[in-house]
Amino acid sequence: MRKTLIQVTAVVAFFALWKLYVTGFNVSSLVLPPPEAIAVALVELFASGEIWFHLYTTLIECLGGFVIACVVGMTLGLLLGRIEILDTIFKPFVIALQVTPKVALIPLFILWFGFGIESKIIVSAVLAFFPVFANSYLGARSVDRGLLELFDVGKSGHLRRFRILVFPSAMPYILTGMEMAIVLSIIGAVVAEFVAGSRGLGYLATIKLQELEVDTLFAVVVVLALIGFLLYFLVGSLRRFVIPWHESASRATI
């Protein structure tokens, strides 16, 4: 209760200082609009209905990218983590992908997948892939040795061992990767829209900048932040349902 009070006071103070700065130093609203102007722009965005189409587009792009990243990242991470020969073969490719600045690949993806949402989904997926992969890989490698021995003694087959032991053991790691991935998938979608979008929140932001509607630009950023918060929260709360047995189930990562 006391904590909440302190936090609310801090947020209110932040906006008050902002307002004070803007009026006190006579800052142009083209550089930094006052907080209430952003609030008004935000309401207008929704009231006019302009935002829904863009919001929907960006959501589809980042969720599509996220799902692809999760499926591919988890599969590759678990397989490479457990099968030595696959690890040897594919590790260089995975590392090469990780160290390449993926944003530089966006023009290439547009060339391959066009200007529609497909290329945005791919960019989003590529950005979100690595944390899911790396955490799944780590999870697959961290399976308790004692439990593996138990399955050796019981002469368990590979598939059942994978399903009953490896996959559940790795699940807390995979979920951590997913929490990191959902944020990156939003970044991927928005950046791709900046570069070559005709719709979506990233595109809307660039348009508002060109039209010098800085307060609306800020409002779009606020919407993106809210989406990020909501999706991160949703993915984070998966823990409670997927791994209720794990210590981390009762607390968020941050």
Partner 1 sequence: MAELRMVAPPDGAAAAERADPLVHIEGVGRIFRSKKAEVHALDDITLAIRRGEFVAVVGPSGCGKSTLLRLLCGLDQPTSGSIRWEHDRPGHCAVAFQEHRLLAWRSVLENIILPKAMRAAPAAADYERGRGLAKLVGLKGFEDTRPSALSGGMKQRTAVARALFAEPDLLLLDEPFGALDAITREKITADTETIWLNGQFTALLITHSIAEAVHLADRVVVMSPRPGRITGIVPVDLPRPRGRLIGEPPFVELVNRIRGMLQEDDDA
| Nearest of 110, 76, 112 to residue 94 by alpha carbon | 76
Write out the E strands in 11-74: none
| Nearest of 46, 81, 69, 206 to residue 124 by alpha carbon | 69
Which of 99, 157, 250, 254 forms a contact with partner 1 (CB under 8 A)?
Answer: 157
Q: Using the minimum distance from each CB to partner 1, give the nearer residue, 165 or 207.
A: 165
Contact stretch for partner 1 (CB under 8 A) within 65-73, 143-151, 214-222, 223-231:
143-151
Residue 152 touches partner 1, criterion: CB under 8 A = yes
Q: Using the minimum distance from each CB to partner 1, give the nearer residue, 28 or 250.
A: 250
Which of 154, 210, 250, 254 forms a contact with partner 1 (CB under 8 A)?
Answer: 154
Cβ 45 vs Cβ 216: under 8 Å = yes
Which of 82, 120, 161, 239 forms a contact with partner 1 (CB under 8 A)?
Answer: 161
Binding mask 164-203 for partner 1 (x = CB under 8 A): xx--x--x--------------------------------
Give φ, ψ of 245 to 5 degrees.
-80, -15
Contact stretch for partner 1 (CB under 8 A) within 4-12, 92-100, 116-124, 160-168:
160-168
Which 222-251 residues touch partner 1, going by CB under 8 A? 243, 245-246
Least spacing, CB of residue 58 vs partner 1, in Å: 35
Residue type, 176: T
Which of 39, 147, 222, 238 forms a contact with partner 1 (CB under 8 A)?
Answer: 147
**Three-state secondary structure of 11-24:** HHHHHHHHHHHHHH
Q: Buried b vs exposed e over 92-127: b needs ≥16 C-beta within 10 Å?
A: eebeeeeeeebbebbeebbeebeeebebbbbbbbbb
Residue 155 touches partner 1, criterion: CB under 8 A = yes
Q: Using the minimum distance from each CB to partner 1, give the nearer residue, 206 or 248.
A: 248
Cβ 179 vs Cβ 253: under 8 Å = yes
Contact stretch for partner 1 (CB under 8 A) within 52-60, 82-90, 134-142, 155-163:
155-163
Cβ 166 vs Cβ 78: under 8 Å = yes
Cβ 194 vs Cβ 145: under 8 Å = no
- Residues 12, 28, 220, CA angle at the centre, nearest 5°? 60
Contact stretch for partner 1 (CB under 8 A) within 25-33, 64-72, 96-104, 153-161:
153-161
Q: Footprint of partner 1 on this chain (CB under 8 A)?
A: 144, 146-147, 149-157, 160-161, 164-165, 168, 171, 243, 245-246
